[in-house]
Amino acid sequence: MSKRVLILHGLSGSDFPHWQSQLAMDLIKENFIVSFPSFPNKNEPKLNEWKEFLKKELEHFKPDIVVCHSLANILWFHTCDELDIKLDKLMLVAPVSRNRDIPEAKTFFPYPIAKDLKANEIIMAASTNDPYMSIEEAIELQSKLNIGMKIMENAGHINATSGFGKLDCALDWIKRVDECQINEELEK
């Protein structure tokens, strides 16, 4: 059975050539089922509007894996305590600092540190020079969330503007199957 991957964009979207657009295409080529919706008012988002949209999409699509970029991470932090789901995997890429002032997205801040991110396996990717979150803040967030982290050197906000029209490590991580799961399948 094909895994279902929900890709959630940040402020202003992740249109081509953003790595999320590339990831959606690559996953489809690998026979994953993909949903890559466009949030309403993506240039001036309202938290409650995005939360309701996300909840409807989760109910309708029923993903196994969720991939968040930028503001979508913050949306997930605000929403996950209200969800009755358990994902296989959750990828948090380039979250935004709790101390940022983003006028277009002011309803998203401050945000909570979720106790349960609703996934069996979670990874966060951060950059050493992200203008929206320092590496020190990223390490602090990763520690509070108690999750794994990939640190990317000089990757900016890990978006098309930073040169990421493709992010192969995201595809590789999603495709990777745990050895335990492979062994269980071999024993059947």
Cβ proximity of 21 and 67 under 8 Å? no
C-alpha dihedral, 173 to 111 to 157 to 138, nearest 10°: -70
User: Can you state the percent helix, strand and coil of the chain, rounding each to 5?
Assistant: 40, 20, 40
d(CA 164, CA 146): 26
d(CA 65, CA 86): 9
**Sheet of strand 87-93: strand arrangement:** 33-35, 4-8, 65-69, 87-93, 119-127, 148-152
pLDDT over threshold 60, residue 11: yes
Sequence-separated (6 or more) residues with CB below 8 Å from residue 54? 8, 75, 79
pLDDT band at 163 (very low <50, low <70, confident <90, very high): confident
Q: Where do the DSSP E strands lie in 47-168?
A: 65-69, 87-93, 119-127, 148-152
Cβ proximity of 62 and 4 under 8 Å? yes
Sequence-separated (6 or more) residues with CB below 8 Å from residue 147? 92, 117, 122, 123, 124
Tokens at residue 60, please?
């309708």
84-133 residue pLDDT tens: 999 999 999 999 999 888 999 999 999 999 989 999 999 999 999 999 99
pLDDT over threshold 60, residue 25: yes
What is this structure's pTM? Answer: 0.92
